Amino acid sequence: MLNCDISARKNEAISQGIGMMTQIYADRAQNSEIWDVEGNRYIDFSSGIAVLNTGHRHPKVIAAVKEQLDKFTHTCHQVLPYENYVRLAERLNAIVPGNFEKKTVFVSTGAEAVENAVKIARASTGRNAIIAFSGGFHGRTFMGMSLTGKVAPYKLGFGSMLNDIFHAPFPVPLHGVTVEDSLAAIETLFKADVDPSRVAAIILEPIQGEGGFYEAPPAFLEKLRELCDRHGILLIADEVQTGFARTGKMFAMNHHAVAADITTMAKSLAGGFPLAAVTGRKEIMDAPKPGGLGGTYGGNPLGIAAAHAVLDVIEDEQLCERANSLGKKLKQRLEKLRNAVPEMVDIRGPGFMNAVEFNDVKTGLPSAEFANAVRMNAQKQGLILLTCGVHGNVIRFLAPITIQDEVFNEALDILENAMQHASSEAGKK
């Protein structure tokens, strides 16, 4: 079986709306390595877009799911509940940032978590409006699209977005947007577009994922918390991509002195199995009436079992500490390449949620072309990378935190070679 043959079948069978970064068809995987249908080996620095912080098929996760398979696979928790759903909610209530009593609900995807966070915020406050940020990504549902601060490809051709959604610029000093600029833009919204007494919540990613791995400055989150408290607005932290040890702490908000009222999470929560959650202040989470939240597959028993194992692995294998160690090594290696690769304009990210941004040397403008050249050069050598950013000029690094040291070192060698090759080719143009 060949990748190209499957790709031809894909073109006939699957909507082109499903964008694909590679035409490498996976056959098997273990920890940080994937083998395709042709037997080629790749090092995975994508983790299914931050889903596999504990790696492909971690033995403890697989064992937990197999044990659950022998009991039952589905009942719908709203019909016949099960204890491990309750116990996982208790664990999340204990570890999600915020020194207050919490409650949790489980759904299936990150977009669902965001949708439900907005529903809960509206039910709790009796208000409708939501403020989000440029560059933010919150899913592909209509609410998710409306909140997302990037048009292409997420909003193209899908018509009008939902009402009462407003956007402010996210503070990115590298691109000339300061904390003061962002806060001033929100105040302008209050004066020109929406009365703050109508705003139910402000939602943001503590570190933007698809938007380019830009970290919200501590001062910004502190001021945002003050603003929300002043106007009775809830603060929602979208931790779908940042959660579960990726940033060197369990959640990105653990890096800050303030807490969100509601936290959404998904991706690495269940180590590759579909599971998402919304955790928030007890009184806020209880605002919807019985039956207002939930879903047929929300909190599927297999995902719940996997999530328990993921939390155990993070603690037992000290993955927060390992994320900090791996990220430090990666950024040090990239720093050594600054002279050889002048296209690099920034290296960033806490823990192992790291990124490098590229500009064209001649124009000084963001260069998606260069970032893609690095990605393709690395792929040819067996390393899978992902690009991101509003301009597509950022490469984000999302390898499993459990990656073997020797495989990690091999990946860094490939990355260095790919970046130097891309820079050399760019210099010839």
Q: Enter the tokens of residue 279.
A: 């955790």
Spot the catalytic one: 45, 106, 137, 370. 137
**164 catalytic per annotation:** no
Residues 6+ apart with CB under 8 A from 133: 149, 167, 168, 169, 170, 182, 204, 208
Interatomic CA distance for residues 223 and 200, integer angstroms: 17
Cis before residue 153, ω within 30 degrees of 0?
yes
| Residue of 361, 354, 326, 355 whose CA lies nearest to 340 | 361
387 within 8 A of 213, measured Cβ to Cβ: no
Q: What is the DSSP string of 110-178?
A: HHHHHHHHHHHHHHHHS--EEEEETT----SSHHHHHH-S--TTTTTTS-PPPSSEEEE---BGGGTB-
Place of tokens 């004066």: 191
**137 catalytic per annotation:** yes
Spot the catalytic one: 102, 133, 213, 238. 238
Write down the number of H helices and E strands in the chain. Answer: 13, 15
**244 catalytic per annotation:** no
Q: What is the DSSP string of 2-23?
A: -HHHHHHHHHHHS-TTS--S--
233 within 8 A of 196, measured Cβ to Cβ: yes
Interatomic CA distance for residues 52 and 62, integer angstroms: 13
Q: What is the CA radius of gyration of the chain?
A: 21
Interatomic CA distance for residues 131 and 143, integer angstroms: 12
What's at 48, amino acid-wise?
Answer: G
Spot the catalytic one: 251, 267, 331, 408. 267
* Active-site amino acid positions: 137, 238, 267
